[in-house]
Amino acid sequence: MKKNFYVVVLFISLATIASCSKKNTYSSSGGSNNPPAGSNAVTMSGMAFNPTNISVTVGTTVTWTNNDAMSHTVTSNDGTSFNSGTIAAGSTFSFKFMTAGTYAYHCTFHAGMTGTVVVTP
């Protein structure tokens, strides 16, 4: 019985250490999960994409980072431009935009999560 208790305590301790060691893709002052202004980074946090709208030039790779505790997707509204599949908590998805245009997207799991990438020449 005592041995099982120590195994459980060890497992919980290791799980806690592992979850605390995840690194953000970027850093910012004030402990915010928001990407720096003018960057090509989007976070998923609080059941929202942040920033909601982003502008980049052709050839730019945009990276979405899931900072929520649940899985999300990054799926183009047209259904063909890009689709991340399931992005687990703490994971990222990147897509390189090679054509100018406006790309609306959403999370297929959470209808209220929407965003737009505007790609200029």
pLDDT digits 0-9 by tens, 64-82: 999 999 999 999 999 999 9
User: How many of the other CB atoms lie within 10 Å of CB of 68?
Assistant: 20
pLDDT score, position 89: 97
Q: What is the pTM of this model?
A: 0.69
Q: Give a yes or no: residue 85 inside a domain.
A: yes
**Spatial distance between the Cα atoms of 83 and 107, rounded to a whole number of angstroms:** 10
- Checking if the pLDDT of 4 tops 70, the result is no
Domain count, the chain: 1
15 falls within a domain: no
Look at residue 1 in the predicted model and tell me its pLDDT. 52
In a domain, 46, yes or no: yes
